[in-house]
Amino acid sequence: MLVILAFIILFHVISAILLFVATIHNAWWVVAPPGGSLIYTDLWYSCNSTCYPVEKSASTEAAYLQVVQATMILSAILCCVGFFVFILQLFRLKQGERFVFTAIIQLLAALCVMIAATVYTAERESFQVEPLRKGNYGASYVLAWICFPMTLFSGLMYLVLRKRK
């Protein structure tokens, strides 16, 4: 049982770290213009040699970007809250009642990550200015999609673990 708990704690911490990296790192969209330096775009800034705010990110035209920002931040917060609730429930609740609340929080974090990555995928074309249209999804975008099954699996592990002694 201790090995399972250690594995779950490690898995949860790794998924939280990856969520923070995916939210903060500036590589959701990467463009390599001919003869120029790479341009990295994240949820807040576009960077080549200097960083500048994403164009029109505070307008209604980019409401989807605000949805992605909010759901990624919410997923990272929920993942951290889920970890602290897990630690509290580990020592406070009796068998059978453990980890249900933690599982619900983790499953909500997975849902938030899925919403963020799906909205970014669906709406990316409508927001990008012309030089940024011919790029590729970056490492942070891929990390967001990797975080979705990790947090989903973590939430399901908590549901299975609730019955264990």
Rounded to an integer, the average pLDDT of 43-47 is 75
- Residues 6 or more apart whose Cβ sits within 8 Å of residue 69: 43, 44
pLDDT at 126 over 80: no
Pair of tokens at residue 121: 């995928």
What confidence score (pLDDT) does residue 165 get?
Answer: 55
The pTM score is 0.85
